A and B are shown apart, each in its own frame.
Chain A
Amino acid sequence: MGSLYFLIPVSVILVGLIAVIFLWAVRSGQFDDLDGPAHSILFEEEVDDELDKEPESNDSKTE
Chain B
Amino acid sequence: MTINTKLENDTVCFHCGLSVPRDKTWGIDFEGQWRPMCCPGCEAVAQTIIDSGLASFYQKRTAYSVTATSLDDVLEPSVVEQPKTDFADTELLETSLIIEGITCSACIWLLERQVKQLDGVVSFNVNYATRRARLKIVEQSIHVSDVLEAIRAVGYQAAPFDTSKQFSNLQKERKDFLGRVGVAVFCGMQVMMMTLGIYIADPSEIDADLLQFLKWMSALLTLPVVLFSGKPFLQAAYRDIKNKMPGMDVPVALGISLGFLASLINTYSGRGDTYYESVCMFVLFLMLARYVEFLTRWYAISSSERMMQAVPMVAKRVVDDGSVETVSAKSLLLGDQVQINPGEVIPADAVVLKGHSQVDESILTGESEPINKSSDDHLLGGSHNLTNTLMARVSCVGKDSTLSTIARLIDRAHAQKPAWVEAADRFASLFVSMVILVTASTAIYGYSQGQVDWFSTALSVLVVTCPCALSLATPTAYTAAMSALFGQGIIITKGTALEKLATIDRVIFDKTGTLTQGAMSLSNCKVFGPQDQQKIMDIAISLESFSDHPIARAFKRETVRVNHQAINVEQASGRGLRGEVEGSVYYLGSEDYINESLRITLDGVDASVTQVYLADETQVLASFEIQDDIRKGAQLTVAWLKGQGKKVSLLSGDKHTPVQWLAKQVGIDDFKFDASPSDKLNEIGRLQLKGERVAMVGDGVNDAPILAKADVSISVSGASQLARASSEVLLMNNDMQSLRYVFRLSNRVSAIIKQNMGWALVYNIGALPLAMGGYVEPWQAALGMSVSSLVVVLNSFRLRFVLPSKNNLEKVAGVRVG
Given A15-B190, A18-B186, A34-B129: A40 and B179 interface contact (C-beta under 8 Å): no
Q: List the A side residues contacting B175 at CB < 8 Å.
A: 26-27, 31
In the bound complex, do residue B129 and residue A22 qualify as a contact, i.e. CB atoms below 8 Å apart?
no
Chain B residue with the shortest CB-CB distance to A11: B190
Q: Chain A: interface residue count, which band?
A: 20 to 34
In the bound complex, do residue B129 and residue A35 qualify as a contact, i.e. CB atoms below 8 Å apart?
yes
Chain A residue with the shortest CB-CB distance to B206: A1
In the bound complex, do residue A12 and residue B128 qualify as a contact, i.e. CB atoms below 8 Å apart?
no
- Indicate if B490 sits at the interface (CB-CB under 8 A): no
Q: Taking the nearest CB of chain B, how far is it from the CB of A51, in angstroms?
A: 10
Question: Could you tell me which residues of chain B, from 194 to 215, have a CB within 8 Å of some CB in chain A?
Answer: 194, 207, 210, 213-214
Q: List the B side residues contacting A34 at CB < 8 Å.
A: 129
Given A18-B186, A19-B186: A9 and B217 interface contact (C-beta under 8 Å): yes
Q: List the B side residues contacting A50 at CB < 8 Å.
A: 53, 56
- Indicate if B784 sits at the interface (CB-CB under 8 A): no
- Indicate if B390 sits at the interface (CB-CB under 8 A): no
Q: List the A side residues contacting B190 at CB < 8 Å.
A: 11-12, 15
The digit string for A37-56, where 1 denotes a CB below 8 A from any CB of B, is 00110010011001000100
A32 to B171: give the CA distance in the assembly, Å: 8
Chain B residue with the shortest CB-CB distance to A5: B213
Chain A residue with the shortest CB-CB distance to B113: A47
Question: Could you tell me which residues of chain B, from 584 to 624, have a CB within 8 Å of some CB in chain A?
Answer: none
- Indicate if A33 sits at the interface (CB-CB under 8 A): yes
Q: List the A side residues contacting B128 at CB < 8 Å.
A: 33, 35-36, 39
A12 to B218: give the CA distance in the assembly, Å: 9
**Contact check: which of B109, B183, B210, B220 meets A23 at CB < 8 Å?**
B183
Q: Taking the nearest CB of chain A, how far is it from the CB of B54, in angstroms?
A: 10
**Contact check: which of B182, B213, B220, B221 meets A22 at CB < 8 Å?**
B182
Given A19-B187, A22-B179, A40-B105: A12 and B213 interface contact (C-beta under 8 Å): no
In the bound complex, do residue A26 and residue B182 qualify as a contact, i.e. CB atoms below 8 Å apart?
yes
- Indicate if B108 sits at the interface (CB-CB under 8 A): yes
- Indicate if B535 sits at the interface (CB-CB under 8 A): no
A47 to B85: give the CA distance in the assembly, Å: 32
Given A22-B183, A26-B182: A8 and B105 interface contact (C-beta under 8 Å): no
A38 to B53: give the CA distance in the assembly, Å: 24
A1 to B108: give the CA distance in the assembly, Å: 56
The digit string for B144-176, where 1 denotes a CB below 8 A from any CB of A, is 000000000000000000000000000100010
Given A15-B187, A19-B186, A26-B175: A54 and B53 interface contact (C-beta under 8 Å): yes
Q: Taking the nearest CB of chain B, how far is it from the CB of A11, in angstroms?
A: 7
Q: List the A side residues contacting B327 at CB < 8 Å.
A: none
Q: List the A side residues contacting B194 at CB < 8 Å.
A: 8
In the bound complex, do residue B213 and residue A36 qualify as a contact, i.e. CB atoms below 8 Å apart?
no
A25 to B321: give the CA distance in the assembly, Å: 57
- Indicate if B678 sits at the interface (CB-CB under 8 A): no
A23 to B126: give the CA distance in the assembly, Å: 23
- Indicate if B224 sits at the interface (CB-CB under 8 A): yes
**Contact check: which of B108, B210, B217 meets A40 at CB < 8 Å?**
B108
Chain B residue with the shortest CB-CB distance to A8: B217
Q: Taking the nearest CB of chain A, how far is it from the CB of B613, in angstroms?
A: 50
In the bound complex, do residue B129 and residue A12 qualify as a contact, i.e. CB atoms below 8 Å apart?
no
In the bound complex, do residue A1 and residue B210 qualify as a contact, i.e. CB atoms below 8 Å apart?
yes
A26 to B129: give the CA distance in the assembly, Å: 16
A27 to B179: give the CA distance in the assembly, Å: 8
- Indicate if B106 sits at the interface (CB-CB under 8 A): yes
A31 to B210: give the CA distance in the assembly, Å: 40
- Indicate if B329 sits at the interface (CB-CB under 8 A): no
A51 to B600: give the CA distance in the assembly, Å: 67
Q: Taking the nearest CB of chain B, how far is it from the CB of A44, in angstroms?
A: 8
Chain A residue with the shortest CB-CB distance to B182: A22
Chain B residue with the shortest CB-CB distance to A44: B109
Q: Taking the nearest CB of chain A, how far is it from the CB of B45, in angstroms?
A: 19
In the bound complex, do residue A33 and residue B221 qualify as a contact, i.e. CB atoms below 8 Å apart?
no
In the bound complex, do residue A36 and residue B129 qualify as a contact, i.e. CB atoms below 8 Å apart?
yes
Top 5 closest pairs, chain A to chain B, by CB = A36-B128, A39-B105, A43-B109, A33-B127, A22-B182
List 13 A-B pairs, Cβ < 8 Å: A4-B213, A19-B182, A26-B178, A26-B179, A27-B179, A31-B178, A32-B127, A34-B129, A35-B128, A36-B105, A36-B126, A43-B60, A47-B113
Additional 20 contacts, C-beta under 8 A, given A5-B210, A39-B106, A46-B60? A1-B210, A19-B183, A22-B183, A22-B186, A26-B178, A26-B179, A27-B175, A31-B178, A32-B127, A32-B129, A32-B130, A35-B129, A36-B127, A36-B128, A36-B129, A39-B108, A40-B108, A43-B60, A47-B113, A50-B53
